[in-house]
Structure 1
């Protein structure tokens, strides 16, 4: 299962701490300050899995991972107590860096450092110093499963949250969040081009022509000399017109094209399996437990 920095998983993570910032809280082992909380790692379901502890001058600025089950939040939420964490353990832990790949093998290295202490912490008082590492019993393969079947619930001492030690940490619950992502799915290009065709137009025209009609006189009729007026150079003038066709081109709006887009809405339905954390309270004997909402 992948691990995520809490701010990457939920930018509003402070609401799970009553608006307080968990990063930067001092970390103590007993009465000794050993560093501060640098970050929190959660799994895909938002469950707290590790605190990233910056050991500061305790081990020259080394960052290590502390399983959340081994952390105790103080009543006033101002300190984190690392239960049974010794300097020898911190030195044996792999160093955490931002680019470190946290996979099953890396987590096994981390768990193997803490497992002996967690297996004995119910039966003996915590040890201090290097004697912890010298007197730890070997880890047995029966304690955990392989990489294909392992889950955090198999080691509640390392990963369980409880009301006593983690009163300020809220339980996460998955919810299905719907968002929309606007992305380009296509493009329509509207353009125009010129097509050429040969057009034929006909127009009727009128042309004038002169018609000369000869009308013969009365043959043999005699006129008096006074009725005759012989003149040379007499001219009859008549203008002739005809229509000349003129052709020219003119542009006009044949049609208008408007390009627009409309938004069609549809509902997309998805189904996912959602998980949530529930608090388990185990009561032994005649203990009276009062649960307040």
Structure 2
């Protein structure tokens, strides 16, 4: 099951209702972009991150469980994946994937349990 990946960790510092739009997002090895959109919906929490020039202006969708900490004063979010792991995630297309359960399942497999370093299960 991969449902728990769509919840923020209790230790992340996330407060329901906080607008995270515009927050900088940091992977374990550097900045990946800014939050363009996010969801706090129970069981469906995620971040859509605009990567800017890092991945040629593409967006990535990160399940809420990847968030390690949120610093509201610095407007920064830290996630527990590397830039390479995020870049290697299933491709995101806003027009097709926000409501696509198959895409969510792909992300669940990619970021979920049994994937200690991200990527397909070992």
TM-score by length of 2: 0.67
**Runs of 4 or more consecutive aligned structure 1 residues displaced over 4 Å after TM superposition:** none
Q: Does 1:119 align with 2:101?
A: no
Matched, 1:80 2:59: no
2:63 is the alignment partner of 1:62: no
When residues 120 and 107 of structure 1 are mapped into structure 2, their CA distance, relative to the original with a 3 A threshold, is closer
- Paired with 1:16 and 1:42, the residues of 2 have a C-alpha distance of 7
Q: Counterparts in 2 of 1:246-265, with a 5 A limit? A: none
CA distance in 1, matches of 2:56, 2:65: 25
1:38 aligns with 2:6: no
Summarize the Cα distance change of 1:65–1:82 in structure 2 as closer, same or farther, 3 Å threshold.
same
Structure-2 change in CA distance of 1:80 and 1:90 (3 Å): same
1:50 to partner: Cα distance: 0.6
Q: Which has the higher strand share?
A: 2
TM-score, normalised relative to structure 1: 0.31
Deviation at residue 120 of structure 1 after TM alignment: 5.2
Whether contact under 8 Å (2:17, 2:40) holds in the other structure is no
Q: In 1, Cα distance between the equivalents of 2:23 and 2:51?
A: 12
Q: How far is the alpha carbon of 1:76 from its aligned partner?
A: 3.4
In structure 2, distance between residues paired with 1:88 and 1:30: 10
What is the root-mean-square deviation in Å for CA atoms of aligned residues? 2.7
Cα 1:38–1:80 change in 2 (3 A) is same
1:23 to 10, 17, 21: 21
In 2, the alpha carbon distance for the partners of 1:91 and 1:120 equals 13
d(CA) in 1 for partners of 2:39 and 2:77? 15
> Residues 119, 52 of structure 1: CA spacing in aligned structure 2 closer, same or farther, 3 A cutoff?
same
How many pairs were matched up? 105
Contact 1:36–1:53 (Cα < 8 Å) also in 2: yes
Q: For the Cα contact (< 8 Å) 2:26–2:32, is it kept in 1?
A: yes
Structure with higher Rg: it is: 1
* Contact 1:89–1:113, Cα closer than 8 Å, also in 2: no
Query: Per residue, is there more helix in 1 or in 2?
Result: 2
- d(CA) in 2 for partners of 1:137, 1:65: 19
Map 1:90-105 onto structure 2 (within 5 A). Answer: 90-97=87-94, 99-101=95-97, 102-105=99-102
Q: Quick one: structure 1 residues 42 and 75, their matched pair in 2 at CA, closer, same or farther if it must change by over 3 Å?
A: closer
